[in-house]
């Protein structure tokens, strides 16, 4: 018996000791402005002394590719600092906040005292040694145009390419886009069926930009668009082959829709290619270009950057430098300075853009005496999220299947028209607010994805969209007069079905229709004006070479993407921006290799 008691006591002591030092895990959820209700689930494990052992993101409904940097960074910061009071990741702030909230909820619900774990701690980073690097082609910016240029440079013979990106992830504005890419294959049955052609794409682009676009650049854009799609497919990018559609402000049914949501398909494709050619292409994140350098003859020969730890990184370019830094929609001071269209673009007008769209490339090239054109041409969309200004949460799939309704329950513009016309019309409405209204034709179950990887049911659950069996019930939910909404939809349906026998046209001039809005349940989502694209920028030729203020080419300097001007004119067609990044990114990479 004594031996038995001794053994039992020993076991008890071992168990007590193990329990005393056992780690304890807590799991919690949080809403996200992107993924909706309970979009993020996290598990945090604490040691017996209360310190953080690990943090894992068990589930995240936010858009893949966009949220990845936050998912990878925030948990690691919490463990390293032993604090849940950590900084959000630039470019992924909404996901960052959701992760922090989920961890906080987990600990709070577990009864943990958060006092010590909520202390703000300084991140101490040891400054690395300064670096001097050399590459044939150096690219500033790892968005759509920048990575297209990098791959093109490698494919055209470059043996060394370095891409620098100030943000902690690749993607730029492209990864936040709806993914629509305009391109016309003149020989296809689709183009013939839709009465489309490369020349019609050219005509609409020129006219849609009030004839301010450079004809040579516009023709370069539209005539190389289809080859750009084929190029993407050759690297494994997948498109919904049967989903040619009209994107908002696109004016025609020629937008190609990638299988992956937003712009993630582009970067899934680009990064796979770059990873497979890492012996040639090097991407340096958290590396901010500060200056473009020139030799004694005025030829661009490299850049100077601030590295991740504050060290100086000097990169020499033997062939050329490509600037692909995007626009300046997130720089309130710059857009206020240059705006010639809207009157005020202060901080009350939010933007669809990522945090890095602050005009860095413009500033660097200005110091070189580069020529800038049409800087006042700033595009707004009527499709911003009322809270964030982002395009996420937009329930529409295409132009043909929805209408815009104001707070009085009435339509107020041609929903298939130009983006500037629609936005101006929205500014004239009560609270600058409208509701997109549509039926279930494109959401038969509510679980179908919109263009941003979100389902209608998720958006409804998150309170970002509304769903009702009847228009009267929908009107009550969104706070508009039911009789006005019912009458507006009935009138729209009449035109949608061909109007009356006299050939009467839609009162707002709309010509793009599909089926009537008569198949419940019905959906609605609120939208406001938002700054979307800066169409002015540095002046380039069709080889992406940059001009100076005297009309001369700056040798060794190239530019592509939203940092350039002269392509889209006063108003960019929806779906042309991603085409721009692919077409001119490829050209810039090839030109930089040649060094011409």
Q: How far apart are the first and last CA of the chain?
A: 94
457-463 contacts: CB < 8 A, separation 24 or more? 458/35, 458/36, 458/37, 458/61, 459/36, 459/393, 459/395, 459/525, 460/523, 461/36, 461/37, 462/31, 462/35, 462/36, 462/37, 462/39, 463/37
Catalytic residue (one of 335, 411, 419, 510): 419
Active-site residue flag, 419: yes
Distances from the Cα of 553 to the Cα of 137, 299, 362, 368, 549, angstroms: 18, 10, 17, 12, 9
Dihedral over alpha carbons 384, 576, 259, 61 (to 10 degrees): -20
- Burial letters 12-29, b for 16+ CB under 10 A, else e: eeeeeeeeeeeeeebbbb
Angle at the Cα of 514 from the Cα atoms of 511 and 515, rounded to 5 degrees: 130
Cα 82 from Cα 125, distance rounded (Å)? 16
Residue 225 CB neighbour total at 10 angstroms: 25
Please give the sequence-ordered ranges of beta strands (E in DSSP) within 427-536, or none if there are none: 434-438, 466-468, 522-534
Please give the sequence-ordered ranges of beta strands (E in DSSP) within 153-194, or none if there are none: 161-164, 181-182
Strands 378-384 and 522-534: antiparallel
97 three-class SS: helix
- Is the separation of the CB atoms in 78 and 103 below 8 Å? yes
Give the catalytic positions in this structure. Answer: 419
């Amino acid at each position: 018996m004594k031996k038995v008691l001794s053994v039992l006591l020993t076991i008890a002591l071992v168990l007590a000791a193990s329990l005393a030092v056992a780690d304890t895990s807590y799991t919690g959820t949080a809403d996200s402005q992107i993924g909706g209700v309970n979009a993020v689930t996290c598990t945090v494990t604490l040691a017996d002394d209360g310190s953080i052992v690990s943090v894992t993101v068990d589930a995240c409904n936010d858009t893949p590719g966009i949220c990845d940097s936050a998912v990878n960074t925030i948990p690691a910061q919490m463990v390293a600092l032993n604090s849940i009071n950590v900084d959000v990741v630039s470019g992924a702030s909404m996901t960052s906040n959701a992760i922090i909230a989920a961890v906080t909820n987990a600990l709070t619900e577990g009864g943990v005292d958060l006092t010590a774990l909520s202390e703000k701690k300084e991140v101490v980073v040891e400054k690395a040694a300064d670096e001097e690097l050399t590459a044939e082609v150096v690219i500033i910016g790892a968005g759509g145009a920048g990575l297209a240029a990098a791959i093109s440079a490698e494919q055209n013979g470059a043996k060394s390419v370095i891409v620098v990106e100030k943000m902690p992830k690749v993607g730029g504005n492209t990864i936040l886009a709806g993914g629509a890419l305009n391109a016309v294959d003149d020989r296809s049955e689709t183009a013939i069926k839709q009465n489309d052609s490369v020349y019609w794409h050219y005509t609409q682009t020129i006219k849609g930009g009030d004839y301010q676009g450079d004809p040579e650049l516009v023709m370069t854009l539209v005539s190389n668009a289809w080859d750009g799609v084929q190029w993407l497919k050759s690297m494994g990018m997948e498109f919904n082959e049967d989903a040619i559609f009209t994107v908002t402000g696109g004016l025609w049914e020629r937008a190609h829709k990638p299988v992956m949501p937003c712009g993630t398909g582009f970067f899934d494709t680009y990064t796979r290619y770059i990873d497979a050619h890492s012996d040639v292409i090097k991407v340096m994140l958290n590396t901010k270009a500060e200056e473009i350098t020139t030799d004694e003859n005025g030829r661009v020969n490299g850049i100077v950057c601030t590295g991740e730890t504050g060290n100086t990184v000097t990169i020499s370019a033997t062939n050329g430098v490509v600037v692909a830094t995007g626009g300046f929609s997130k720089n309130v001071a710059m857009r206020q300075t240059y705006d010639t269209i809207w009157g005020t673009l202060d901080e009350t007008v939010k933007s669809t853009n990522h945090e890095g769209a602050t005009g860095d490339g413009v500033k660097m090239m200005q110091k070189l005496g580069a020529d800038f054109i049409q800087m006042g041409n700033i595009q707004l969309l009527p499709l911003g999220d009322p809270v964030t200004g982002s395009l996420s949460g937009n329930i529409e799939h295409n132009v043909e299947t929805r209408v815009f309704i104001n707070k009085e329950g009435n339509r107020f513009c041609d929903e298939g028209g130009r983006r500037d016309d629609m936005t101006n019309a929205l500014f004239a409405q009560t609270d600058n607010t409208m509701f997109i209204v549509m039926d279930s034709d494109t959401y038969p179950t509510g679980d179908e994805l919109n263009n941003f990887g979100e389902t209608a049911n998720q958006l409804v659950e998150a309170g970002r969209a509304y769903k009702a069996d009847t228009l009267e019930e929908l009107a009550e939910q969104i706070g508009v007069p039911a009789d006005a909404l019912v009458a507006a939809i009935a009138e729209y349906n009449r035109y949608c079905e061909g109007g009356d026998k006299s050939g009467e046209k839609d009162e707002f001039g709309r010509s793009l229709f599909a089926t009537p809005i008569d198949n419940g349940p019905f959906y609605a989502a609120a939208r406001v004006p938002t700054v979307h694209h800066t169409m002015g920028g540095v002046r380039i030729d069709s080889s992406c070479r940059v001009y100076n203020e005297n009309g001369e080419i700056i040798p060794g300097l190239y530019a592509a993407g939203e940092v350039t001007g002269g392509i889209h004119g006063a108003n960019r067609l929806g779906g042309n921006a991603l085409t721009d990044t692919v077409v001119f990114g490829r050209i810039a990479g090839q030109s930089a290799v040649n060094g011409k």
